[in-house]
Chains A and B, each alone.
Chain A
Amino acid sequence: DIQMTQSPSTLSASVGDRVTITCRASQSISNWLAWYQQKPGKAPKLLIYKASSLESGVPSRFSGSGSGTEFTLTISSLQPDDFATYYCQQYNSYWTFGQGTKVEIK
């Protein structure tokens, strides 16, 4: 099984900050990596797929990068609507999610 490890688990930031979340895979997954945003009581929302492709309708302040085993999600300027939990997910072999990163207000 491919394990996904996110860091940090919690991130405190202010509106306007640049935020970076890291996701590591236990083995190479090429670029088969997606990022989701989840707000309390809601279903996850797809933000990025294939490591760096922005899902339609997602603001351009979100970007993804990486390949192999190391990936990052960057929010260039944090907005009030962005306070949420973010999950990475590999789909090289079945589908596995990371443990999540909660972005909270500083």
Chain B
Amino acid sequence: QITLQESGPTLGKPTQTLTLTCSFSGFSLNTSGVGVGWIRQPPGKALEWLALIDWDDDKRYSPSLKSRLTITKDSSKNQVVLRMTNMGPMDTATYYCARRGPDIVFDYWGQGTLVTVSS
């Protein structure tokens, strides 16, 4: 059974750095073709892909947010970490992590974690 779970702060202040952790089970990030991505959704709005890390440590970022994002993995711990610098109110959203399977789509998702940025 594949599961993913996001964890991190629920509240942040403007200019702070957000660190979110995705803990997963049921698959390995050492498996060829597998990756873990982060997607966010502001309240009442659409989904936005942020970043993805592959089994071979290849990293890809949304062009519009690339300068603010860092994604890393610890395959031994089955965790992926996303860091977003210089947070602002527009970063208030539910943040999801999801497995990118061999078909290149996000086939398993975590339940999401709501992050509110406010002074």
* A residues with CB within 8 A of B: 1, 32, 34, 36, 38, 42-46, 49-50, 53, 55, 87, 89, 91, 94-100
Q: Are A91 and B105 in contact (CB under 8 A)?
A: yes
Interface class of chain A by DSSP:
loop
Q: How far is the CA of A100 from the CA of B48 in the complex (A)?
A: 11
Q: Are B103 and A49 in contact (CB under 8 A)?
A: yes
Interface residues on B, range: 20 to 34
Which of A32, A38, A94 has a CB less than 8 Å from the CB of B60?
Answer: A94
Enumerate 27 A-B pairs (CB-CB under 8 Å) in ascending A order: A1-B63, A1-B64, A32-B104, A34-B105, A36-B106, A38-B47, A42-B111, A43-B96, A43-B98, A43-B109, A43-B111, A44-B47, A44-B96, A45-B109, A46-B106, A46-B107, A49-B103, A49-B104, A53-B103, A89-B47, A91-B105, A94-B62, A95-B37, A95-B49, A96-B49, A99-B46, A100-B47
Contacts between chains A and B (CB distance < 8 A), count: 56
* B residues with CB within 8 A of A: 37, 39, 46-49, 52, 60, 62-64, 96, 98, 103-107, 109-112
Q: How far is the CA of A42 from the CA of B103 in the complex (A)?
A: 23
Q: Are A43 and B60 in contact (CB under 8 A)?
A: no
Which of A1, A91, A98 has a CB less than 8 Å from the CB of B104?
Answer: A91
Contacts of B64 in A (CB 8 A): 1
A-B contacts besides A32-B104, A97-B48, 15 pairs, CB < 8 Å: A1-B63, A36-B106, A42-B111, A43-B98, A43-B110, A46-B105, A53-B103, A87-B46, A87-B47, A95-B39, A95-B106, A96-B49, A97-B46, A97-B47, A98-B46
